[in-house]
Amino acid sequence: MTPRLFLGRGLRLLILGVFTIFFVAPILWLILAPTKSDHALVLNSPFSFGSFHQVALAWKHLDHFSHHVYRHWIVNSLVYSLTATAITLVAGIPAGYGLALGRFPGRRLILSLTLISMIIPSAALVLPIYLEMNAADHIVLFGSHVHLINSAWSVILPFAFFPFGVYLAYIYYITALPPTLLEAARVDGASELQTFLRIAMPLAKPVLALVFFFAFVSDWNNFFLPYVVLSDPQQLPITVGLQDLLASTPAFNPSVGGGGGATNIFKPELAIATVIAVLPVAVVFMVSQRALVRGLVGGGVKE
Element (H, E) at 141: strand 140-141
Q: What is the pLDDT of residues 217-254, one digit of tens each?
A: 999 999 999 999 998 889 999 999 998 888 877 767 77
Q: What is the pLDDT of residues 160-205, one digit of tens each?
A: 999 999 999 999 888 888 888 888 888 888 888 888 888 888 888 8
d(CA 188, CA 206): 26
Q: Do 140 and 149 contact (CB within 8 A), yes or no?
A: no
d(CA 58, CA 203): 46
Q: What is the pLDDT of residues 252-296, one digit of tens each?
A: 777 665 555 567 788 888 899 999 999 999 998 888 777 666 655
Q: What is the pLDDT of residues 20-33, one digit of tens each?
A: 899 999 999 999 99
**Cα within 13 Å of Cα(208), Cβ side:** 11
Which residue, 229, 238, 232, is CA-closest to 280? 238
d(CA 154, CA 225): 9
pLDDT above 90 covers what percent of the chain?
A: 39
Distances 294 to 89, 166, 177, 290 between C-alpha atoms, Å: 18, 18, 14, 6
pLDDT above 70 covers what percent of the chain?
A: 90
Work out the mean pLDDT of the chain and round it to a whole number.
85
d(CA 151, CA 39): 40
Give me the pLDDT at residue 301, please: 47
Q: What is the pTM of this model?
A: 0.86
pLDDT above 70 (res 143): no
Q: Do 172 and 207 contact (CB within 8 A), yes or no?
A: yes
Give me the pLDDT at residue 303, please: 47
d(CA 82, CA 59): 25
| Nearest-5° Cα angle at 147, 145 to 151 | 155
